[in-house]
């Protein structure tokens, strides 16, 4: 059953709501400062209370040094280290352990996500949604410089997930998603150590009955550095998480579903 609802109008930005932007960063010395600056200026201009938590995921380049320097100039920047094993999932989970806001939004550190879309997420949260999922593949979305082979694999994988779970979301694997604090608490325990966390979090939220909206977003291929996602080694990990959550959906008899969702 879809959890999409029509928008209730423009947000009241005076409403008290703090955003925590969580950015996992591994060897992103060429992009992380620009990523943080753009997000900070966008949210500062909009008057949105926020923090930017960048999780240094065992970088071997100057990412840590760049972040320390940037923190001296950007008041909302809060760099931390991933003290668990290296991995995108571990880094995001380290951020989820310490974020101070009412909402956690995961953003990539390579400038691929548009900071303006964070404002659109904010509007949906003020409308009462508990999760906001961006899609790069719906009317109104914009996508640029997506490698063809990755695009083909992406569409096959997301089509499979959409059909298996019978959900309207067509970009489950996209990392750029937001969750209210009660959702973060309600989808525990998170077990994915790598990029498969991008699938685990939204599917758990949907299965467990949290209200969500799907909106179009813009995405741009990275301008510097190298992608950390290796499709060949991640395929089995994605499949494991998808099947694990399908079993929860089919066999758990609602044991993990929120108790006030009806």
Burial level of 251, CB count in 10 A (0-12/13-18/19+)?
A: exposed
Asked whether residue 15 carries a pLDDT value surpassing 70, the answer given is: no
pLDDT band, very low/low/confident/very high, at 7 (cuts 50, 70, 90) = very low
- 19-251 belongs to which homologous superfamily? Spore Coat Polysaccharide Biosynthesis Protein SpsA; Chain A (3.90.550.10)
3-state DSSP call for residue 128?
A: coil
**pLDDT for 232-241, tens place per residue?**
557 899 999 9
Please check the confidence at residue 1 and state whether its pLDDT lies above 50.
no
pLDDT score, position 145 = 92
User: Residue 27's pLDDT is what?
Assistant: 96
**Residues 126-136: pLDDT tens digits?**
999 999 999 99
Confidence of residue 43 (pLDDT cuts 50, 70, 90): very high
> Does position 202 have pLDDT exceeding 80, yes or no?
yes
Who's near 63: CB < 8 A, 6+ residues apart?
Answer: 25, 26, 27, 28, 29, 32, 56
Average pLDDT over residues 36-44: 98
CA dist list (Å): 119 to 29, 88, 110, 208: 26, 24, 19, 26
């Amino acid at each position: 059953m879809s959890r999409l609802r029509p928008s209730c109008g423009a947000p009241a930005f005076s409403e008290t709501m703090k955003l925590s932007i969580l950015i996992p960063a591994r060897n992103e010395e060429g992009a992380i400062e620009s990523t943080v600056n753009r997000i900070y200026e966008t949210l500062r201009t909009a008057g949105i209370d926020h923090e930017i938590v960048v999780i240094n995921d065992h970088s071997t380049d100057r990412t840590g040094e760049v972040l320390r320097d940037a923190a001296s100039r950007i008041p909302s920047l809060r760099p931390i280290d991933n003290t668990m094993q290296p991995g995108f999932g571990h880094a995001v989970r380290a951020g989820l352990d310490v974020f101070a806001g009412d909402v956690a939004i995961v953003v990539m550190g390579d400038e691929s996500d548009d900071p303006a879309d964070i404002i659109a997420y904010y509007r949906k949260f003020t409308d009462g949604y508990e999760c906001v999922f961006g899609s790069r593949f719906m009317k109104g979305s914009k996508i640029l410089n997506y490698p063809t082979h990755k695009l083909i694999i992406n569409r096959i994988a997301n089509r499979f997930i959409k059909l298996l779970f019978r959900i309207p979301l067509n970009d489950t694997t996209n990392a750029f998603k937001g969750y209210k604090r009660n959702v973060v608490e309600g989808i525990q325990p998170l077990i994915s150590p790598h990029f498969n966390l991008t699938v685990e979090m939204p599917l758990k939220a949907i299965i467990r009955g949290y209200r969500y909206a799907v909106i179009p977003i813009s995405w741009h291929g990275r301008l510097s550095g190298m992608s950390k996602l290796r499709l060949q080694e991640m395929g089995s990990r994605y499949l494991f998480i998808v099947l694990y959550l399908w079993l929860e959906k089919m066999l758990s008899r609602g044991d993990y579903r929120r108790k006030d969702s009806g």
